[in-house]
Amino acid sequence: MLIQLAGSEPLYQQIYHALKQKILSGELQRGTKMPSSRTLADSLCVSRNIVLIAYEQLVAEGYLEPRQGSGTYVGAIPDEFLNSRTTPRLLDAGPPVAPRLSGYAERIGTTFLELARRAVPRPTVRYNFRYGHTAIDLLDHRVWRRLVARRSMAFSKTEMFYSEPQGQPELRQALAHYLGIQRGVQCDAGQIVIVNGSQQAIDLIARVLVNPGDAVAVEEPCYPGTRLSLAALGANIHPIRVDENGLVTDDLQCIPQPVRLICVTPSHQYPTGSIMQLQRRLELIAFARKAGAFILEDDYDSEFRYDARPEKAVQGLDPDGRVVYVSTFSKVLFAGLRLGYVVLPKMLVEPLTCAKALSDRNTAVFAQRVLADFMGEGHFERHLRRVRLKVGERRWALIDALNTSFRDNVKIAGENAGVHLLAWFPDVSREALQGWLERAERIGVAAYPVEPCYVKFPRIAGLVLGYASLRPEEIREGVRLLAKALRQN
């Protein structure tokens, strides 16, 4: 029997595919006795076990059938599956009809996938101003490793099974305590759901609250992941202006249909960095109460405020449970941890927990328990104090470097909080921006345009510059090279 073994596939797979093809093409007809595994192995100069594995797979799929005391024979393959060529007749009955994607898949596009891929570290880039890259050098790795090792030693069988979709009780309890003191959030552990980062939280909230065609208000500009999640569900999205005081709440009155959800980043607007003043927060809640809408409060990096104490969460001002509060550990610890959380009005706890269970059953138990230990033993508070101080120094280094390298050709916004700022370059057009960033990357600097955050693109170039992961000397050199790339135009 002629079988050619060549290629990168394992030998047993090559033998399996070759024999299957011979059966389907009719070269090996039904009832034909196959050579013994030893005989075929000898003829192919391979181990007998390799042939046995191929035979076992063919028997399992019905192409071969063993007969007690007689050997192995080609199975009774129906005629409609056989063809003198290589394609079964059943598949050759006419022109194929192309399968279709769902409306959700067509709406989702590839934009967010492209943005997510940009977040993956690139070895060729020495100075990466990517927003979302955190100050991992400031984490006490010895403490984290010790907690991981201790949990590993105590790992039990119960942790190997499915777990509570809402999240580990000890972590939810620690979060409820922390949020009440530090963010003014009114909740108990039963209102918290642990998720795989804030992006999953936004997606689940949208699925639970929004139907196709529902009106949803988002900030303009805003975090792209929020807008894209809503667009994928078929929401009717209404961009609302943002100024130096946050969302312009008066513009909500101009939406021509009942509003279902309002998405805001009040403590540090993304990406402009403005902070919503108290009067606007109260107006936002009043509008939501009158419209019967929910508010999605994305409090993604509120731990970082440099000129004053952080503003308390909008959720703490909510008198009747319509604010859904979302946050993450990606900015204060590290993004690879993939842990975030949602604080829900009580009426939404069960629906969103059901959606979470349907999505991924439960978030990884081990990581939750390590984090609960990290918070419960006081390491989290100490880490925050250290990170605020050091990241604040990095912020000043970036502001100084931008002003030194670009002088009057840069306008900085949102520098008083968070782990990024927005730099506008009035003399750089949108058309020239891409070439500038490509030249910068060739000399080792990555920077990212603000355009994906907008529905209506700005006329001048803007960059969202994250600085938490870079030391001050790296920030200065990176900005110097960024300016050099601009001059090369």
**Beta-strand pair 340-343/323-328:** antiparallel
Q: φ, ψ for residue 46 (rounded to 5)?
A: -130, 170
- Do the beta carbons of residue 399 and residue 249 sit within 8 Å? no
- Encode the chain (489 residues) as per-residue pLDDT tens digits: 678 887 788 999 999 999 998 888 888 888 999 999 999 999 998 999 999 999 999 999 889 999 988 999 998 877 666 654 444 555 556 677 888 888 888 888 888 888 888 778 777 899 999 998 889 999 999 999 999 999 998 877 777 788 899 999 999 999 999 999 999 999 999 999 999 999 999 999 999 999 999 999 999 999 999 999 999 999 999 999 999 999 999 999 999 999 999 999 999 999 999 999 999 999 999 999 999 999 999 999 888 988 777 789 999 999 999 999 999 999 999 989 999 999 999 999 999 999 999 999 999 999 999 999 999 999 999 999 999 999 999 999 999 999 999 999 999 998 888 999 999 999 999 889 999 999 999 999 999 999 999 999 888 999 999 999 999 999 999 999 999 999 986
pLDDT, residue 388, reads 92
Other Cβ atoms less than 10 A from the Cβ of 281: the count is 24
Instruction: Report the candidate in 484, 475, 464, 470 with the shortest Cα–Cα distance to residue 397.
Output: 475
Percent of the chain with pLDDT over 90: 74
Structure tokens at 245: 């005081």
Helix intervals (H) in 263-315: 278-291
In the chain, ranges of CATH 3.40.640.10 domains: 141-377
pLDDT, residue 88, reads 52
In the chain, ranges of CATH 3.90.1150.10 domains: 107-134+382-487
Domain range 11-92, CATH architecture: Orthogonal Bundle (1.10)
Q: What angle do CA 247, 430, 276 make, to 5 degrees?
A: 15
Structure tokens at 191: 């209102």
Residue partners of 377: CB distance under 8 A and separation at least 6: none
pLDDT, residue 6, reads 79
Q: How far is CA 193 from CA 176, 292, 344, in A?
A: 11, 23, 8
pLDDT, residue 86, reads 46
pTM: 0.83
CATH of 107-134+382-487 among 3.90.1150.10, 2.40.340.10, 3.40.50.10440, 3.20.20.70 = 3.90.1150.10
Domain 141-377 CATH assignment equals 2.40.10.10 = no
pLDDT, residue 159, reads 74
pLDDT, residue 89, reads 54
User: What is the overall mean pLDDT for the chain?
Assistant: 91
